[in-house]
Structure 1
Amino acid sequence: MTEQMLTAGVLGLGRDGQLLLEAARTSGQFLIKAVADQDQQRAEKIAAEFACEPYTDFRQMIVQNQFDCLLVAADIHTCDEHLKTAFRKKFHVLKLAPPARNYEEALEYVQMAEYEKVRFAIGNPARFQYSYMTARELIGQGHVRNVFLVTAYDEAAGVDRPAWHSDPKLAGGGVLLHDCHQIVDQILWNFSIPQQVYALTTNQAPDKQQRLYLTEDTAVVSMKFTDGLTAGVVATQRSDRGPTRRGLQIYGKGARLTITDDRVILSTDSGQEDQVWQYEETEPDTMQRLLSSFARSVRNPAEHPLVSGAAENLKNMAVFESAYLSARTGFPEEPARILRITRNASGTATSV
């Protein structure tokens, strides 16, 4: 079985990196050859568990090895040049969302991966959660017709964030970019790209001047798709230790879908009892499906296209770019205008 495995290295061994590692092991499709983390003790401990080489220098791990794939869960500001080096070495790359700090950076990665002819996937685990997959099927089958409103929320509670999350230069953004990438991805996955985006963001720091130099911890985003379809996203970072909450509601003519991480509810105006789909799955289960899908796309891209390719995720990044620009200007912004700059990039997904 070892001959069939894809050799891989892992960048970043925090919580998400360890989820990736465990999922890679249980999937049976990856042979982990090396791991890297800036915490030497953690890198050595995990490397011993997986019988692979530990590194604290990301560049050194990439330069000194030849992998089939690189799995990236490192902090977004620590892996810019290392991703480019991996592309040049012809590594296929899976990076957990978000793909970059801003649209320009994401576009550069996409164009480099296309030039080097390697697969570049963005890990959006919600695409592999049964609840969101079921909702997509119900929408596709016409159970919710003439959708006119989508509402989404993400409330992160009790999250211990590193200091760099508050620095716009290092983080690129706050709760919108780092907490809402998957929920925004779900909206765009099902309803394409909005014509206009309007956003309000704030930070609850007590000093008004200080707020100007911090990423946002609260955001409200409105999206206009057509004259008949709008969407709204509310994101906030709470200081209490309650549960983190995330979900979508999709309103159509005569029916409504409510989606959370473990449940889908289809309600109708006909008086029929709600239909409920309840799922019990763990984060490692979802991550294993994500990694198995990536492995199939690497082995046989013609039959198994990437479920969440980086080029497709440029649409998400254009929406975030529009939201942050709108928060500064006070006016609605157009993601399509940002995407137009990619139209001359060969192979880049730019349809809007």
Structure 2
Amino acid sequence: MFHVKLPGQDAIARQADEHLVTHRVKLPKKVVEHPIGQVAKRLSMALVVLVVTALIVYVDRDGYNDNAGGGMTLLDAFYYATVTLSTTGYGDITPASDTARLTNILVITPLRVLFLIILVGTTLEALTERTREEWRLTRWRSTLRDHTVVIGFGTKGRSAIRTVCATGLKKEQVVVVDPSSKVIDAATAEGYAGIVGDATRSEVLKRAEVHKARQIIIATQRDDTAVLVALTARQLNRGANIVAAVREEENAPLLKQSGADAVITSASAAGRLLGLSVLSPSAGMVMEDLIQQGSGLDIVERPVVKAEVGKTPREITDLVVSVIRGHRVLGYDDPAVGTLELTDRLITIVRATPGSQIAPDVRPLPPMPRN
């Protein structure tokens, strides 16, 4: 008997299988103790409960009857504690005095319940894990606002989000979207929330709460994918700041037309840095320092303060590179700048202070993506 396999049948089957595991939100997990350590801890607790119960029975040994005759020994006390805590109860040793019976009611019974809870703790934890995860997910969705969504967690995506986090953004405010479950596992291991899925699909971006995001970083492997993601993201969120990376410079205008506010050409940017380093290794080192946020020199965007109004860019304490006036970016020496206005914003080079956070109205410029 022959089996006919149509072209693309394997790909369709893989997509169907992947659809079962995609679109899931993975939150960063807390550090969990090794299973062997958990089992050893529970066994130790159960042993402590057993010993305590046996000692309580042995102290009040005169209040117990042993059908085998003779007095209660320490071994008999451990035997009685074992069969009682395990709810076996053979009945050969029974509490006879009022004190022994009262002790069984007030002490032995709670210890029995505690003993059973310890033994079935692993099962109970497994049963409640799903409920706890659903509760965490619901709480995460309700508190997520003005966050950052990173599409693609490769070299470019990692570098971009680490740069942004170096300026003070909390990891709890970052959501990573990637089609690879292994990549998402790596993202959650670093403390970011992750979603396994295709970012070109609106339902995947909705799970990332894109409609409530403040900024979106698109760092996909393919330019055509970046265009589709930008279109979908802009449709869901009209006000978010969308920054994207492309490999080919000719695709940058198309990506801007798709809704991206800024487009970085990774291949040509890396090539220009290589060329600059060939002409002047020192200049290349300075540029490398500028694009590494949080160390050495940083290039940031900040508003003009009242004390700077009416001054020229050369009169400012910080090293001013450009002046943003309205939608125009003017050079520091452009005659159109004249004197600074309160509504202007400055692009300056400042000395990075380790451990410090940039003020909310000060924005670091996006890093130069690399392949």
Quickly name the TM-score band, shorter chain normalised.
0.3 to 0.5
Q: TM-score, normalised by structure 1?
A: 0.36
Structure having the larger proportion of residues in strand? 1
Mark the structure with the bigger radius of gyration.
2
TM-score with structure 2 length normalisation?
A: 0.34
RCO higher in structure (CA 8 A, sep ≥6): 1
